[in-house]
Amino acid sequence: MKKHFLLLLLSFLVLSLHANIRLPNILASNMVLQQQSTTKLWGWASPDEKIKIITSWNNKTIETSADGNANWKIDIQTPQAGGPYTITLQGENKIVLNNILIGEVWVCSGQSNMERNYYTGISSIKEEYELLNKLNIRLFNMPKTTSKTPQDDCTGNWTTCDTSTLKAFSAVAYYFGKNLNKTLNVPIGLIASSWGGTPAEVWTQENLIENNATLKEASKKNNPTPWWPVNAGYTYNTMIYPIVNYNISGTIWYQGESNREAPLSYTELMNTMITSWRKAWNKDCLLYTSDAADER
């Protein structure tokens, strides 16, 4: 009996050393990948686990392995806009991502004006319902979360844009995506990452605020509230950082009122935030701001 128990225990220990490959939530069925670009896939697996990846748009197989910290990352090349496609990942387990489109991807961020949707007063969005079956738009709604330290993953999921999912999605982001879809005639992926009332400091890395005397002093005027965070970096760490590996065309930004107590430093604050986002995504031209009504 003891011998059988020991064999079972050893078998369990061996199996526990092999973890299934896992993906962040931003990499999922129904997603849109940036067209004609180098795009990253990444995730976690057992250390040194070999992973095979097959993309259906060219039926090529590429391979990678997890490192000693159980992380893996690989670049793939995307074709011109189209789809739907599949991506198959095979390691100790198998993951198949279905209904993937190739097109243009945009992150839509800011505070209340960006966040507003059908449930928060934009009832006119119902007028769009009859048009949705003619559009090719996918949505990723980032839940409101905070952290003092950068996070590797986020919650949320990719969905098609329909009468149900659109109600809870940013109206500004939708109208922006609708215009792009009609003008460019390519699939559009919209990632909504906004939080009403938040000052721009929370969307900027903490060290960039703390190491800048002007911005640090201005941030002290952001009075704590029970409804939104005011600490530098707190939403950047959870609502921006987890997706900086995800290739995008650009971002739109709609914010400004919560920084009204320090107007003289706002330009420097925005330049700091924009520069940090461009560096994180490795994009020279990334962001369009709606509050300042100009392109930076």
Catalogue all structural domains in the chain, each as residue range(s) with its CATH number. 20-101 (2.60.40.10), 103-295 (3.40.50)
pLDDT by position in tens, the chain (length 296): 444 444 444 444 344 456 799 999 999 999 999 999 999 999 999 999 999 999 999 999 999 999 999 999 999 999 999 999 999 999 999 999 999 999 999 999 999 999 999 999 999 999 999 999 999 999 999 999 999 999 999 999 999 999 999 999 999 999 999 999 999 999 999 999 999 999 999 999 999 999 999 999 999 999 899 999 999 999 999 999 999 999 999 999 998 688 999 999 999 999 999 999 999 999 876 666 655 433 33
Q: What residues have CB less than 8 Å from 142, skipping those under 6 apart?
A: 154, 156, 191, 192, 193, 194, 239
Contact (CB, 8 A) for 104 and 126: no
How many Å apart are CA 20 and CA 44, to the nearest integer? 8
- Counting beta carbons within 10 angstroms of the beta carbon of residue 218, is it exposed (0 to 12), middle (13 to 18) or buried (19 or more)? buried
pTM, rounded to two decimals = 0.91
